[in-house]
Structure 1
Amino acid sequence: MPSPEARVDCIAARLSAAGFAPRLRDHDDYTQVEVDVPDQVPAARWGALLEALLRSGADWWGLGSTRHGRRIAWAGVNKDPRGSCCCPGAWPSAVRS
């Protein structure tokens, strides 16, 4: 399995290739890559976003809204490879938007 840093770089590259502007949020135990999702997203771009998340190698990922009403897509990677989650899509209690 690639290092956590390499996985984060891969996720960011896939999201960029899908036409989104990724940003990294560093936490003690994990790194979260997130992008803003505009209100109007063409179907092909939605497909590219979902493909990027599903094939990214993230330990978990999701789509949601912040308390400020922004829609975001995100992927999380544990910094310790031994802590990798076996169920993508899970929401760890440490993630806060």
Structure 2
Amino acid sequence: MPASRARAEDIASRLTALGLTTRVEGHARYTSIEAEVPEALPAGSWREVLEVVAEADRFGLLASSLTGRTLWAAVHKAVPATGDVRGPGHQR
């Protein structure tokens, strides 16, 4: 299992342990974790949830009156050790 997937799975399992339902999905450059946040999540649990997602490379919260609250986090996949790692036009 790639390291980014393992980190994402670890984050997801820790969020699940806090009572959230999670989804993990692989993408070309990152692995994402999404979790539905229930309205009844105790205020004290937020600190623990934030400590968990802070281990990701990026995270945020989407809130909507139609879809509720979705917490998301992304773990970047490793950059190749050789080759063009900075993209076109930015080569050494």
Same fold (TM over 0.5): yes
Q: 1:28–1:67: structure 2 CA closer, same or farther, 3 Å change rule?
A: farther
Q: 1:66–1:24: structure 2 CA closer, same or farther, 3 Å change rule?
A: farther
Q: 1:78–1:66: structure 2 CA closer, same or farther, 3 Å change rule?
A: farther
Per-residue deviation, 1:65: 2.5
Measured in 2, the distance between the counterparts of 1:25 and 1:66 equals 22
Structure number, greater radius of gyration: 2
- Alignment partner, residue 5 of structure 2: 5
Unaligned runs of 5+ in 2: 81-92
Instruction: Kindly indicate whether the alpha-carbon contact (under 8 Å) linking 1:19 and 1:45 is maintained by their aligned counterparts in 2.
Output: no
Instruction: Kindly indicate whether the alpha-carbon contact (under 8 Å) linking 1:18 and 1:52 is maintained by their aligned counterparts in 2.
Output: no
Per-residue deviation, 1:71: 0.8
TM-score normalized with structure 1 length = 0.67
Per-residue deviation, 1:68: 4.2
Measured in 1, the distance between the counterparts of 2:6 and 2:53 equals 15
Q: When the two structures are aligned, how many residues end up with a matched partner?
A: 79
1:5-64 CA-partner distances (Å, limit 9, x unpaired): 22112111211121111111332221110100112321122122112112x3x1111112
Measured in 1, the distance between the counterparts of 2:49 and 2:35 equals 10
Runs of 4+ aligned residues of structure 1 deviating over 6 Å after TM superposition are none
Q: Which amino acid aligns with 2:50?
A: L
- Alignment partner, residue 64 of structure 1: 62
- Alignment partner, residue 16 of structure 1: 16
Q: Which amino acid aligns with 2:4?
A: P
- Alignment partner, residue 75 of structure 2: 77
Measured in 1, the distance between the counterparts of 2:64 and 2:27 equals 18
- Greater strand fraction, Structure 1 or Structure 2: 2
**% identity of equivalent residues:** 38
Unaligned runs of 5+ in 1: 84-97
